[in-house]
A and B are shown apart, each in its own frame.
Chain A
Amino acid sequence: MLFTANVVIKLRESILDPQGKTIENSLKSIGFHAILETRIGKFIELKIDAENEEDARIIVENACEKLLANPVMENYTYTLEKHSKEIA
């Protein structure tokens, strides 16, 4: 079965994100006062061939823990989407 995983990696909450802060200040300066916080992260899309959804999740989580995210400074989240047809 084919899956697409959308992985989002962000700096851990306890770590200052100067890029996010700069953007946050800019948003405020142009009037977006309702936006309370801005954090920058990375987005990684993975196409996965796996037996089932559980296997696909294990693959994504292993990839995140081994390479895609550094647990010393980052957290990851992801969503998984199953494809009904083969990806061309």
Chain B
Amino acid sequence: MIAKVGVVVFPGSNCDHDAYYVCKNLINVDTKFLWHKDTSIEDRNIIIIPGGFSYGDYLRCGAIARFSGIMPEVIRFANNGGIVIGICNGFQILCEAGLLPGALLRNNNLKFVCDTVSLKVENNKSIFTGLYDIKEDIKIPIAHGEGNFYCDENVHTDLLSKNQILFRYNNNPNGSLDDIAGIQNEKRNVMGMMPHPERASDITLGLTDGYKLFKSVVESVV
């Protein structure tokens, strides 16, 4: 099978072109934008829900986007084992859609944090992190006001026992429970993370630790 990436574009998405660029120009795979009003993901076998401020973050981050025209198809695809990656606002959308557990609360210091942070790779047995070393420290930018991951105790216990935590912050920037920066679902085909690997893939921008995430996913399909 050949990897075919679809990047969903919502009104207010602003990391869609970055994700597209990394897949198309750095990983060199067939990549297409999918409009939020589309009702098909066509022949795509990797879906990226990018960062941004879909629908102006009105009501709650991701709450409106979760009901966009394309989402029933994304949910069906994910439930059938299709690979879905949510970055930042994409992570929030996937939580709202119920494809990932938990929710992203307002940062505990009430500030929008725009910074480069150090993450620890907590699981390198996933299709998303296979090319990283376990406990590898990586530098990835963050830019969010609602990145404070929260879930109840039962869900947290599950995340731990089922190895669903992919990345933790080395210095928690937002109050996130158990320093969680990124998780995968129980079936291991859907992941979400608040940091932006697409902003740390091209050497021109100074950081390249995000590249291996996209490369890992694409190689898992081939």
A70 vs B63: C-alpha distance when bound (angstroms): 8
Which of A11-19, A31-39, A46-54, A80-88 lines the interface with chain B?
A11-19
Indicate whether A73 sits within 8 Å of B105 (C-beta atoms), given known contacts A15-B150, A18-B110, A22-B110: yes
Q: With both chains docked as a complex, state the minimum distance between the C-beta of A64 and any C-beta of chain B, in angstroms.
A: 12
A30 at the interface (CB under 8 A from B): no
> In the complex, which residues of chain A have a beta carbon less than 8 angstroms from the beta carbon of B106?
18-19
Contact B103 A72 (CB under 8 A): yes
Number of residue pairs across A and B with beta carbons under 8 Å? 30
Indicate whether A16 sits within 8 Å of B108 (C-beta atoms), given known contacts A67-B67, A70-B103, A72-B102: yes
Please tell me the number of chain B residues within 8 Å of chain A, measured between CB atoms: 17
Q: Which of A18, A19, A22, A70 is close to B60, meaning CB atoms less than 8 Å apart?
A: A70
Please tell me the number of chain A residues within 8 Å of chain B, measured between CB atoms: 12
Indicate whether A70 sits within 8 Å of B96 (C-beta atoms), given known contacts A15-B105, A15-B150: yes
A15 vs B102: C-alpha distance when bound (angstroms): 13
Closest chain B residue to A19, Cβ basis: B110
Q: With both chains docked as a complex, state the minimum distance between the C-beta of B55 and any C-beta of chain A, in angstroms.
A: 12
Residues of B within 8 A of A (CB): 59-60, 63, 67, 95-96, 102-103, 105-106, 108-110, 150-152, 175
Chosen A-B contacts, 21 in total, with CB atoms closer than 8 Å, are A16-B108, A16-B175, A18-B108, A18-B109, A19-B106, A19-B110, A22-B110, A42-B59, A67-B59, A68-B59, A70-B60, A70-B63, A70-B96, A70-B103, A72-B95, A72-B150, A72-B151, A72-B152, A73-B103, A73-B105, A73-B150
